[in-house]
């Protein structure tokens, strides 16, 4: 049963957790990303005037278009709620740069426009279609936000050219993108412009993938770009995580638009493998920096977790599309895991600095000089968030995610052309009034599980029962289907319920070797970690699970947690036949997304337990 999504444009985030994150996003992150892009030449690059002899540090890179387009997209979601003329001016100037430099036949890419158009569409791994896709997304969002159609018109010209080159002339040196993303962007362009051609182009890229002789495997590896099998036969979450997740998001969108159940079933299988075998507890993905990729089932090392912020975000995008196709709490649970953990950890609490990689453990010894040469030390990320990276895909991605968080909350189904059931996928204090439906969610979630929903214009409200909610408590009767509690609101207009949040230990499969004999701690959707900022040491504590988990206050918008157990007296003997001395002790824990905000510290997510 397909659902209709309600765009963040119509949704007001009212108060609480996400409202304060949006405020920081708007007042700090938006400018922080722009200013650093400006300082590093990414903004002026759109005037296409860089030439040899100019500042080498500002020499345009293959996928700068995508970074800036993502920033424009994020800015546009902010503009949907607030008129900011100075922001529009910045965007309009970038769009003018595109307009002035777009070729007559409709091509634009900062790198190729500067360094030679003869090279265009000759190298599959050079990100042109990825960059185009991000421009399409940004142009749609900017048009939706402001009604200005210049950028959108330019991008339609570009999409028409891509259609001609790939579908009609077949003159490109490759058939499908090395870095997917354009697929989901074409669906957005199709929905915004209503032009069938863009849906057809998306279908072309999806259907040709893994089924043509033209695409050479990237880095000699069919898995890397997810070329191994035709997508309708896909089973495993393989290859470069971000590429695969974006691709499967586009495949799901295509299935949604065309009703292609074979493709939808493939999306289901791949997501199941990703979420049940190849995902960190934080929703992070990518077990190695080598190829930023999925590796094998249960291979989830903590210290060297790649878990790129973009990988989490793209997993959330993928799962959200699945819940629109077929509401099942399984998908919203994944979205929620990503939102409160592996994606949110990508930005500092003050909104000014970013993690590209999000490990689950940080140990000082790994940073000690002499142990690792430079190459090896690259396994270990900087211990605090950075203001910018040379590869800066993650900062604007988290900007656009937080600005568009409203997209993930609601959808509705219809019966005989009329709105029937309003779905609540995420518990975020918000309201909207659109298409004859109005709704209002009041909650302090994730701090507290009490939720009140008011709605009109529908007969039923279906609310996701998260996997950690053993019983959804409500005075109003409800029925359960696919993990959603359905409330009949034909005679009432408000429901209240409690998700019964609790702190709990979570254990890994023993094939995740790093986690043997350990447990993670979660409260609602939030994973916790322990840092030396709060604890003298995080290396010699064994939690006693029988003593439970104590909530001692509130920190970073969630409960502060203390574990009780045993602290081993640290000795300097390397080996000893003496049984270690252990005394009662405690360990303070904070939400994982807030780690590394108080300087460089050791951090652990999985805690040794004494059962």
Contact footprint for ligand FUB (CB under 6 A): 63, 179, 242, 292, 308, 310, 391, 393
List the single partner that 391 binds among ligand FUB, Zn ion, none, CB under 5 to 8 Å by kind. ligand FUB
Burial code (b: 16+ CB inside 10 Å, e: under 16) for 554-573 equals eeebbbbbbbbbbbbeeeee
- Cβ 249 to ligand FUB, closest distance in Å? 13
Integer Cα distance of 562 and 446 in angstroms: 18
Q: Which run of H or E residues covers position 600?
A: none
- Cβ 396 to ligand FUB, closest distance in Å? 11
- Cβ 279 to ligand FUB, closest distance in Å? 16
For Zn ion, the closer of residues 203 and 293 by Cβ is 293
Alpha carbon dihedral 591, 9, 314, 269, in 10-degree steps, equals: 110
Phi, psi of 148 (to 5 degrees): -75, 130
Instruction: Label each residue of 102-158 as H, E or C.
Output: CCCCCCCCHHHHHHCHHHCCCCCCCCHHHHHHHHHHHHHHHHHHHCCCHHHHHHHHH
Integer Cα distance of 261 and 524 in angstroms: 33
- Cβ 66 to ligand FUB, closest distance in Å? 7
List the single partner that 292 binds among ligand FUB, Zn ion, none, CB under 5 to 8 Å by kind. ligand FUB
List the single partner that 137 binds among ligand FUB, Zn ion, none, CB under 5 to 8 Å by kind. none
Integer Cα distance of 321 and 248 in angstroms: 9
List the single partner that 73 binds among Zn ion, ligand FUB, none, CB under 5 to 8 Å by kind. none
- Cβ 392 to ligand FUB, closest distance in Å? 9
Q: Which residue is nearest to Zn ion (CB)?
A: 310
For Zn ion, the closer of residues 185 and 558 by Cβ is 185
Integer Cα distance of 173 and 171 in angstroms: 6
List the single partner that 527 binds among ligand FUB, Zn ion, none, CB under 5 to 8 Å by kind. none
Q: What share of the chain is helix, strand, coil (3-state, %, to 5)?
A: 40, 20, 40
Integer Cα distance of 180 and 108 in angstroms: 18
Q: Which residue is nearest to ligand FUB (CB)?
A: 242
Q: Are 144 and 76 in contact (CB under 8 A)?
A: yes
List the single partner that 63 binds among Zn ion, ligand FUB, none, CB under 5 to 8 Å by kind. ligand FUB
For ligand FUB, the closer of residues 310 and 463 by Cβ is 310
- Cβ 127 to Zn ion, closest distance in Å? 13
> What residues form DSSP beta bridges with 563?
549, 587
For ligand FUB, the closer of residues 401 and 566 by Cβ is 401
For ligand FUB, the closer of residues 50 and 306 by Cβ is 306
List the single partner that 227 binds among ligand FUB, Zn ion, none, CB under 5 to 8 Å by kind. none
List the single partner that 179 binds among Zn ion, ligand FUB, none, CB under 5 to 8 Å by kind. ligand FUB
Q: Are 487 and 465 in contact (CB under 8 A)?
A: no
Under the rule (CB under 5 A), what is the footprint of Zn ion?
308, 310, 393-394
Q: Is the peptide bond before 28 cis (omega within 30 degrees of 0)?
A: no
For Zn ion, the closer of residues 393 and 401 by Cβ is 393
For Zn ion, the closer of residues 328 and 352 by Cβ is 352
For ligand FUB, the closer of residues 93 and 378 by Cβ is 378
């Amino acid at each position: 049963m397909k659902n209709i999504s309600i765009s963040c444009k119509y949704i007001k985030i009212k108060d609480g957790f996400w409202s304060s994150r949006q405020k920081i996003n708007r007042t700090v992150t938006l400018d922080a990303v722009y200013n650093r892009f400006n300082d590093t030449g990414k903004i002026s690059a759109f005037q296409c005037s860089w030439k040899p002899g100019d500042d080498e540090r500002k020499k345009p890179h293959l996928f700068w278009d995508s970074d800036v387009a993502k920033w424009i997209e994020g800015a546009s979601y902010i503009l949907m709620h607030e008129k900011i003329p100075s922001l529009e001016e910045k965007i309009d100037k970038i769009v003018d740069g595109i307009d002035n430099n777009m070729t007559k036949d409709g091509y634009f890419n900062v790198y190729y426009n500067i360094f030679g158009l003869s090279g265009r569409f000759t190298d599959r791994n050079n990100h042109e279609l990825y960059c185009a896709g991000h421009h399409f997304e940004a142009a749609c969002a900017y048009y939706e936000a402001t009604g200005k159609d210049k950028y959108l018109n330019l991008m339609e010209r570009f999409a028409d050219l891509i259609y001609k080159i790939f579908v009609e002339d077949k003159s490109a040196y490759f058939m499908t993108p090395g870095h997917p993303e354009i697929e989901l962007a074409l669906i957005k362009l199709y929905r915004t412009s209503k032009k069938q051609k863009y849906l057809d182009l998306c279908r072309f890229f999806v259907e040709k993938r893994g089924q043509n002789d033209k695409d050479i495997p990237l880095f000699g590896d069919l898995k890397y770009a997810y070329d191994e099998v035709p997508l309708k036969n896909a089973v495993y979450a393989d290859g470069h995580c971000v590429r695969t997740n974006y691709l499967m998001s586009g495949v799901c969108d295509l299935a949604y638009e065309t009703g292609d159940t074979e493709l939808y079933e493939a999306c289901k299988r791949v997501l199941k493998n990703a979420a049940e075998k190849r995902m960190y507890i934080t929703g992070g993905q990518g077990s190695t920096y080598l190829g930023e990729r999925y590796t094998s089932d249960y291979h989830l090392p903590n210290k060297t977790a790649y878990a790129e912020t973009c990988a989490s975000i793209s997993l959330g995008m993928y799962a959200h599309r699945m819940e629109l196709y077929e509401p099942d709490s399984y998908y919203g649970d994944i979205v929620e895991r990503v939102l409160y953990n592996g994606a949110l950890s990508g930005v500092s609490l003050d909104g000014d600095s970013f993690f590209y990689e999000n490990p689950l453990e940080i140990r000082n010894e790994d940073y000690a000089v002499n142990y690792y040469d430079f190459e090896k030390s690259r396994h270990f990320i900087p211990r605090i968030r950075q203001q910018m990276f040379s590869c800066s895909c993650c900062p604007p991605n988290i900007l656009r995610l937080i600005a568009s968080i409203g997209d993930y909350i609601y959808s509705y189904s219809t019966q005989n052309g009329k709105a029937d059931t309003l779905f609540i996928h995420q518990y975020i204090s918000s309201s909207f009034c659109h298409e004859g439906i109005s709704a209002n969610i009041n909650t302090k979630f994730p701090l507290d599980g009490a939720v009140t929903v008011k709605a009109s214009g529908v007969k039923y409200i279906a609310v996701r029962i998260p996997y950690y909610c053993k019983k959804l408590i409500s005075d109003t009767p409800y029925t359960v289907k696919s993990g959603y509690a359905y409330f009949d609101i034909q005679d009432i207009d408000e429901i209240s319920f409690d998700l019964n949040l609790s702190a709990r230990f979570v254990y890994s499969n023993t094939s995740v070797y790093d986690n043997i004999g350990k447990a993670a701690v979660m409260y609602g959707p939030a994973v916790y970690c322990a840092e030396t900022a709060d604890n003298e040491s995080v290396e010699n504590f064994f939690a006693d699970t029988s003593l439970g988990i104590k909530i001692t206050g509130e920190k970073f918008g969630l409960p502060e947690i203390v574990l009780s157990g045993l602290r081993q007296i640290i000795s300097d003997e390397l080996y000893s036949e003496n049984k270690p001395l252990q005394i009662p002790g405690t360990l303070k824990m904070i939400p994982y997304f807030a780690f590394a905000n108080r300087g460089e510290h050791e951090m652990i997510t999985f805690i040794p337990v004494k059962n």
